Structure 1
Amino acid sequence: MSKAELVSSFATRRSRQRGQAYAEYLVVTTVLVGALVVADSNAIAPVAALLSSFKSFFSAYSFTLSLP
């Protein structure tokens, strides 16, 4: 195998690996977003709970900053 063929083969393998990593990232991200959006029948959605927590934290943080 010549040096040019070896470099070409290596570039092709790297390209395929990048494509595989992208597919894995897409699957994991989709599963995580789905888990955050779907709620139990008797509970609020995790996204709503997370946003509520951020609002509460920001309210307490801004109150603390406003103290003299």
Structure 2
Amino acid sequence: MSASVGAEKIILRLPDGLREQIKNAAKQNHRSMNADVVFHLERIYQARAELEEPAHRPKLLRLFSRGPQS
């Protein structure tokens, strides 16, 4: 059974060049574009939820202080 069965679908308007960036990142990560976008969105929302938990703040501050990873 496909993981997409029952999954919500949305249409996005992307700024110029972003689709190509997603495509390249997905290729580097050996994922489909969809899987790569979902992976990153899940990480963002998980981090946001953890920011509300005081016990996780030091770990997240270290993670975010590293800056963008290439």
Does TM-score exceed 0.5, indicating one fold? no
> Whose Rg is larger?
1
Q: TM class, shorter-chain normalised?
A: 0.3 to 0.5
Give the number of the structure whose residues are more often helix, by fraction. Answer: 1
TM-score with structure 2 setting the length: 0.34
TM-score with structure 1 setting the length: 0.35
